[in-house]
Amino acid sequence: MKIVITKERRAHERRVAATPDTVKKFIALGFDVAVEQDAGINSRISNQAYQDAGATISADIVSLLGSADILLKVQRPLLAGEGEINELALMKRGALLIAMLSPYAEPSAIQQYADAGITALTLEFVPRITRAQSMDVLSSQSNLAGYRAVLEAINVYDRAMPMMMTAAGTIAPARVMVLGAGVAGLQAIATAKRLGAIVSATDVRAASKEQVESLGGKFVMVESDEVKNAETAGGYAKEMSDDYKRRQAELVAETLKKQDIAICTALIPGRKAPTLINDEMVHSMRPGSVIVDLAAEQGGNCTLTKPGEVVEINGVTIIGLFNIPSRLSADASALYAKNILNFVTPMIDADKQFTVNWQDEIIAATVLTRDGNIVHPNFKPTSA
């Protein structure tokens, strides 16, 4: 059984799906592992390090993809017209593809996996259950994104974060507001607090209040009965009513004009990110303020975010950079690779045989295509 790890060819992607550590463990499980030459270079992993771990290194992408029983990737493979090669077309029928396949962003690719006879498993769909915590790529990557978002803000912020009392005068601490207190938001709060900022945060899920406060943040939230039902069974946020949105906008407007930095992380799975900061609110912030919009790839939480760009509007810098975890590629790859190892390990049974339990809750939640068909209930074509 051969596992293949290739170079990530999509723009802004510096991560890699395996490390020498995980390669060693795959080999101990009985797999052969082949790594494309320079696959780890952007994560500071040399070809030699993979080779020392027991992998074979190859520059021949055509034979690598053609020989993979399991292809491990960070992002979805390139399709026709998307880049230098059509990675999907080079894979053999029946192969397993394990990656963050962005199924909601790219639903049309799912039919192509099915047509190519690929069994596609998407890691964003790993359920948030205790047994799957070590496989949770959203958590491992969002945590790093939340941390890095604060550093991106500081990098363009012309003032200091902590209060400083000096002989030449006192510098006031920065005020940071975090919108969306999930995994990324909580890490942003912790990071901003460590740097000495005064931090407030908001979310629609009432459960996040305690978490924000335990990190020393002030929780601001619309008081409404609606928050009792704002969370899905999986712990994710739901889209709120128009009345709630109006009241939330008033609250955010009131809070934001006193802030120096806003970190936006609010997401609703499968939907465009909720709008939380409008043009008027941006204009109410003082020059020198910074907004980091981690939701930029899902349309952004701020109406003036330019996805993929950094813009300045009336002295307010809005950072809408894509793929923030990739900016910490060495750590992001190490955690992602560990998540994948933990996902694949249960596929080896007690007799060291590769057997996928398709009924398993974690596998069933992640399989998009199998035996030439789309099998995931969210994407199955509806019969006429």
Bridge partner residues of 364 (DSSP): none
| One of 140, 187, 191, 265 touching ligand NAD (CB under 6 A) | 265
Closest Cα to residue 200, out of 157, 257, 152?
257
Q: Does 133 bind ligand NAD (CB under 6 A)?
A: yes
| One of 104, 236, 322, 354 touching ligand NAD (CB under 6 A) | 236
Tell me if residue 214 is catalytic: no
| One of 101, 138, 144, 337 touching ligand NAD (CB under 6 A) | 138
- Answer whether 191's CB lies under 8 Å from 215's CB: no
* CA pseudo-torsion sign 156, 275, 332, 59: negative
CB of 132 to ligand NAD, least distance (A): 7
Query: Under rule CB under 6 A, which residues in 305-334 are in contact with ligand NAD?
Result: none
Phi first, then psi: give them for residue 298, nearest 5 degrees: -100, 25
Q: Does 208 bind ligand NAD (CB under 6 A)?
A: yes
Tell me if residue 136 is catalytic: yes
Stretch that binds ligand NAD, among 45-53, 86-94, 112-120, 236-244 (CB under 6 A): 236-244
| One of 95, 266, 285, 321 touching ligand NAD (CB under 6 A) | 266
Q: Which tokens go with 118?
A: 């690929």
| One of 8, 36, 87, 136 touching ligand NAD (CB under 6 A) | 136
Contact characters 182-201, ligand NAD, x per CB under 6 A: xxxx----------------
H helices present in the chain, as ranges: 20-28, 47-52, 61-67, 87-90, 107-115, 137-156, 183-194, 208-214, 242-256, 279-284, 329-344, 361-366
Nearer Cβ to ligand NAD (114/281) = 281
- Answer whether 220's CB lies under 8 Å from 250's CB: no
Cα 61 to Cα 18, 27, 95, 163, 190, distances in angstroms: 17, 21, 16, 54, 42
Stretch that binds ligand NAD, among 62-70, 92-100, 260-268, 318-326 (CB under 6 A): 260-268
Tell me if residue 108 is catalytic: no
CB of 47 to ligand NAD, least distance (A): 34
Report the amino acid identity of residue 94: G
- Answer whether 167's CB lies under 8 Å from 150's CB: no
Stretch that binds ligand NAD, among 16-24, 128-136, 158-166, 312-320 (CB under 6 A): 128-136
| One of 6, 19, 202, 323 touching ligand NAD (CB under 6 A) | 202
Tokens 């592992």 locate to: 33
Closest Cα to residue 47, out of 83, 16, 91?
16
Q: Does 142 bind ligand NAD (CB under 6 A)?
A: yes
Residue 285 burial by CB count (10 A; 0-12/13-18/19+): exposed, middle or buried? buried
Catalytically annotated residue among 32, 37, 102, 128: 128
Tokens 């080779």 locate to: 51
CB of 341 to ligand NAD, least distance (A): 17
Stretch that binds ligand NAD, among 5-13, 51-59, 202-210, 334-342 (CB under 6 A): 202-210
Nearer Cβ to ligand NAD (202/329) = 202
Phi-psi sector, 44: left (phi>0), alpha (psi -120 to 50), beta: left
| One of 95, 161, 174, 181 touching ligand NAD (CB under 6 A) | 181
Q: Is 5 helix (H, G, I), strand (E, B) or coil?
A: strand
| One of 139, 255, 305, 342 touching ligand NAD (CB under 6 A) | 139
Q: Does 237 bind ligand NAD (CB under 6 A)?
A: yes
Looking at the annotation, which residues are catalytic? 128, 133, 136, 139, 236
Under the rule (CB under 6 A), what is the footprint of ligand NAD?
128, 133, 136, 138-139, 142, 179-185, 202-205, 208, 235-237, 240, 265-269, 274, 276
